[in-house]
């Protein structure tokens, strides 16, 4: 049986070093889990998608399917939390195409603005792509999936999201059941 090779296979040996300093979100997601009214697994009181994981989905349809499946797995009043960076052209101009070293990993980031894509290339190694989404598109995904935005933060410390925020931390909630129609 042939094994399917993933784009991410090349990152597996370096992932622990790559992500070593990326822990700002842990306390935020743990606090949501502690506050969940019920189990964090089915029946779903909380679904999290930390560490900008949704940025691995390249198309609106891919993201919509995820949001719809999350909404279907949440119980009434259940929450869905995720985070994503907010594209900043000044940051892209500063770091785009520049070789940098973080956590012992030399890499560069290329911004493909026409595709809303970032290509991350590890020196003499693998590359992966991420697709950024603007804040209003995240709101649209919440809406089409039948969820409601509960909170939008500008960082994991729950500071308000505004035009200067470079991180979007979202919490959406499945509406509670209506006493009229039973749904």
Q: How confident is the model at residue 103 (pLDDT cuts 50, 70, 90)?
A: confident
Average confidence score pLDDT of the chain: 90
Q: Angle 108-54-46 (CA atoms, 0-180°, nearest 5)?
A: 140
Question: pLDDT exceeding 70 applies to what percent of the chain?
Answer: 92
Q: SS in 3 state form for the chain?
A: CCCCCCHHHHHHHHHHHHHCCCCCCHHHHHHHHHHCCCCCCCCEEEEEECCCHHHHCCCHHHHHHHHHHHHHHEEEEEEEEEEEECCCHHHHHHHECCCEEECCEEEEEEEEHHHCEEEEEECCCCEEEEECCCHHHHHHHHHHCCCEEEEEECCCCCCECCCCCCEEEEEEECCCCCCCCCC
pLDDT for the residue 3:
67
pLDDT for the residue 178:
46
The whole-angstrom separation of Cα 83 and Cα 87 is 13
As a whole number, mean pLDDT of residues 115-129 equals 92
Give the residue, 177 or 159, on which the prediction is more confident. Answer: 159
CATH class of 7-84+134-173: alpha beta
Domain ranges for the chain = 7-84+134-173
As a whole number, mean pLDDT of residues 132-157 equals 97
pLDDT at 183 over 80: no
Q: How confident is the model at residue 168 (pLDDT cuts 50, 70, 90)?
A: very high
As a whole number, mean pLDDT of residues 111-128 equals 93
CA dihedral sign of residues 24, 121, 128, 93: positive
Enter the tokens of residue 39: 């189990």
Enter the tokens of residue 95: 């770091």
């Amino acid at each position: 049986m042939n094994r399917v090779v993933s784009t991410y296979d090349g990152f597996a040996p370096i992932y622990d070093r790559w992500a070593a300093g990326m822990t700002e979100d842990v306390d935020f997601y743990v606090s949501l889990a502690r506050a969940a009214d019920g189990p964090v697994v089915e029946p779903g009181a909380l679904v999290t998608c930390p560490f900008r994981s949704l940025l691995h989905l390249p198309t609106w349809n891919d993201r919509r399917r995820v949001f719809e499946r999350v909404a279907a797995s949440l119980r009434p009043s259940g929450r869905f939390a995720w985070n994503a960076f907010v594209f900043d052209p000044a940051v892209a101009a500063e770091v785009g195409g520049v070789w940098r070293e973080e956590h012992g990993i030399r890499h560069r980031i290329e911004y493909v603005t026409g595709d809303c894509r970032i290509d991350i290339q590890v020196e003499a190694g693998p590359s992966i792509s991420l697709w950024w989404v603007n804040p209003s598109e995240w709101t649209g995904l919440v809406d089409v999936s039948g969820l409601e935005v509960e909170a939008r933060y500008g960082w994991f410390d729950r500071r308000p999201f505004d035009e200067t925020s470079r991180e979007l931390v979202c919490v959406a909630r499945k509406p509670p059941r209506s006493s009229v129609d039973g749904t």
